[in-house]
Chain A
Amino acid sequence: MSLLLEMFTYPFILRAFVVGILVSLCAALLGVPLVLKRYSMIGDGLSHVSFGALSVALACGWSPLPVSIPVVIAAALALLRMTERSRMGADAAIAVTSASALAVGIIVTSLTTGMTTDVDSYMFGSILAMDRADVVLSVVLSAAVLALFVLFYHRLFAITFDESFSRATGVKVGLYNTLLSVLTALTIVLGMRMMGAMLISSLVIFPALSGMRVLKSFRGVVLCAAVLSVASFCAGLTASYLLGTPVGASVVLVNLAVFLVCCAIGHKAR
């Protein structure tokens, strides 16, 4: 118990908690429409693009966030266009984009700094990565995501459930899709340095899937995903501190465990 209390005396762990809770809340909320609209892979693609952008920024000695945020937002908009245009080729397009971005990142690093611990922490995450700017940005971001969800909840439901009906009734579907992908891009850029480029997309996908297993209403799934995501993050971070395991991987495994439990509950209820 004293070990747990001691944990909160380290400022970097406190920062990790604040940023992590806010990021996992945003990721879970955004994840529900993304998963239901079959856009799950966008998160994965974006995290790899973000990795590429961070490596280039690192190699050139620029600060990471100002470089990667515009790049990832641009990538998010491009991926969204691709998914909207051609349903068939979208998964291939995302796979190609993410592999290419990853390759660019690796080549740039190996030509300049070499595979340093910085690069390693971008790949698999690090608890030390969060600074003051991240805390501020994550507070702003989560405020934006929460505002979007509260104010436009019914419109988000409508465009997620039935895009063609919403279009016909005059809802600006394109605007909301753009908003969703820009906010997803920001969430991923913020979260990936702690969770790791390889693991961040699970934060978007797992809570939504878990919620969908046990609940039957859209409102219920959104709320459940948010609660599960924040709880899983806290449990994962604590476990990583106590056992000395990497944060990102610990959080993902807690999410997996929660998902399996939800599957079992959902199966029993049926």
Chain B
Amino acid sequence: MSDEKKLLIDCRDVTLGYEGRAIGSHLNFQVHSGDYLCIVGDNGSGKSTLLKALLGLLRPMEGQIRTDRSLGGGAIGYLPQQTRAQRDFPATVSEVVLSGFLSARKGRFFYTAAEKSKALMNMGKLGVLELKDRCYRELSGGQQQRVLLSRALCAAGTLLILDEPVTGLDPEAAHDMYRTLAYLNRTEGLAIVMVTHDLPNVLKYATHILHAGRRGWFFGTAAAYLASPYGKKLGGDGQ
């Protein structure tokens, strides 16, 4: 099945860590186009470190992370956790969305007309087009996440990397977010890699799970995860 899909990320025998301290060791996993991979696990188990490595901001201590050529030059759609400074930032929605087009390879100083129309299209896809001249700080948490997701779409067309996208959202907005991501995954064929704490919802959508534990890591399909000791423990917790 995965033979016909394009390999986007290939992690081989990767050991991560910073300041000399290893976090996850000898990790092996792959992300193919169309996959929906959720990274779950305890706090401090190295989820964010792994995310940094996938984004190319951190070199693994051992092993290799290979990414497809289509993801080179910063062309990754990244949705970081929101910072507090952003909540009162004076910027219009379109200013924020357009900033997704900046990447290191482009030496140009201004946005092209094609980029502007693509930004409008992405805002339309996520239902924030009518907000385009509104101020970012006046939007609700769910709307802000959609705006940041439109920006991520501007940066890349094949892979989205999300860092706890539903943290701080009310249940309805979170549900909305998951449906949007499922749409992007199934209809638009985007691969999704998401760090999250929200396991019950994740299992509804994810095709693959990467569990980061203090004692060991698990990688496999969602079904295999549920059958594994990690997944069984999860069921026992009544989650």
| Chain A residues engaging chain B, CB cutoff 8 angstroms | 36-38, 150-155, 157-158, 161-162, 164-172, 211-212, 215-221
Contacts and interface: CB of A to CB of B under 8 A. Distances in A.
A4 B105 CA distance: 53
A6 B16 CA distance: 71
Contact of B155 (A164, A169, A172, A215): A169
Interface stretch (B84-92, B190-198, B213-221, B228-236): B84-92
B99 A170 contact: no
Contact of B73 (A162, A170, A219): A170
B99 A154 contact: yes
Contacts of A154: 98-99, 102, 109-111
Nearest to B57: A167
Interface in B55-71: 55-57
Contact of B102 (A169, A212, A215, A220): A169
14 contacts: A37-B85, A154-B110, A158-B102, A161-B86, A164-B80, A168-B78, A168-B80, A169-B75, A170-B73, A172-B104, A218-B92, A218-B95, A220-B90, A221-B90
A152 B74 CA distance: 18
Interface of B: 55-57, 73-76, 78, 80, 83, 85-86, 89-92, 95-96, 98-100, 102-105, 109-111, 134-135, 138, 148, 151, 155, 161
Contacts of B105: 170
A158 B109 CA distance: 13
Contacts of A164: 78, 80, 83
Interface SS majority for chain B: loop
Given A154-B99, A168-B74, A216-B90, A162 B83 contact: yes
Contacts of A152: 109
Nearest to A219: B95
Q: What are the nearest 7 A-B pairs in CB distance? A: A170-B74, A170-B104, A216-B135, A169-B74, A168-B78, A158-B99, A164-B80
A157 B98 CA distance: 10
B88 to A, nearest CB: 8
Contacts of B57: 167-168
B145 to A, nearest CB: 13
A215 B76 CA distance: 32
B109 A36 contact: no
Contacts of A216: 90-92, 134-135, 138
Tell me which of A38, A150, A169, A219 has the highest count of chain B C-beta atoms within 10 A of its own C-beta.
A169
A155 B111 CA distance: 11
A168 B55 CA distance: 6
A217 B104 contact: no
B78 A165 contact: yes
A212 B89 CA distance: 8
B104 A161 contact: no
Given A157-B99, A171-B103, A218-B95, A212 B90 contact: yes
A169 B104 contact: yes
B102 A166 contact: yes
Nearest to B73: A170
Contact of A165 (B75, B104, B109, B151): B151
Nearest to B134: A216
B101 to A, nearest CB: 8
Nearest to B79: A165
A15 B54 CA distance: 54
A42 to B, nearest CB: 15
